[in-house]
Amino acid sequence: MRASLHAGRARRRGLASAAGAAALLATAGCGIESTGVQVVGAPPAAQAAGNLPGAGPSAGEYAYSLYFYREGRLASVTRLASTPVDQQTVVDAVIGGPTKQELAKGYSSAIPDGLKIVDLTAQGEAWAYQFSDELGRQERAQIVCSIQANLPAPSVATVYGNAKLTWNICWEDFLDLGAPPYLPNAADQSASPTSTFGQASPAQ
């Protein structure tokens, strides 16, 4: 069983890289203005966390997880939203950093102030995000683990400018930083989105 799981994870990483790398490298760093997350069709959404007291559709609240640092190690916090949680919710929240209450509990973020997501491509198992600044390993760990904790993204790539895409899987690449051993949402393909990299924002 362990060998089968390992093979499945390796296959997901390979499919993600093969499916998206060529198209993404051709378009990354083309001077796109910051437009936020652009998704064609229904955006992927995290499941409502009905197992939390007072959370779930009947209570009008949806729970999701974010990864920050505590005592130098990745550590998750739980947030509640009044609407279903999608990519924009997760990415904006992790970039925004810990709340005052979370800071008081010792949580911190490695993500620099002012970071913006420029664009997203999501084609089947290939999920890649272009950011306005270069990300180090600690920053990538926060973003990748936060996305995979809530959304069906088997492998996540980050890129700045025309640099080479960096593909990561939270529980395979960041265990030394305190990442969890496995995030089941990342293997769920039921809500895989389709999107184009560099799509212009709809006219306001």
- In angstroms, what CA-CA distances link 135 with 2, 11, 14, 128, 148? 32, 26, 22, 13, 17
* pLDDT tens readout for residues 129-185: 999 999 999 999 999 999 999 998 889 999 998 889 999 999 999 999 999 988 887
* pLDDT tens readout for residues 36-62: 444 333 344 444 333 333 344 444 589
- Span 16-24, mean pLDDT? 43
Give every CB contact of residue 182 below 8 A, 6+ residues apart in sequence. Answer: 171
Question: Is residue 56 exposed (0-12), middle (13-18) or buried (19+ Cβ within 10 Å)?
Answer: middle
Position 11 pLDDT exceeds 70: no
Position 196 pLDDT exceeds 80: no
- Confidence class for position 126, pLDDT limits 50, 70, 90: confident
- Confidence class for position 186, pLDDT limits 50, 70, 90: confident
Q: What is the pLDDT of residue 29?
A: 42
Higher pLDDT, residue 175 or 35: 175
Predicted TM-score of the model (pTM): 0.70
In whole angstroms, what is the distance from residue 19 CA to residue 48 CA? 30
| In the chain, domain spans | 14-187
- Span 99-114, mean pLDDT? 96
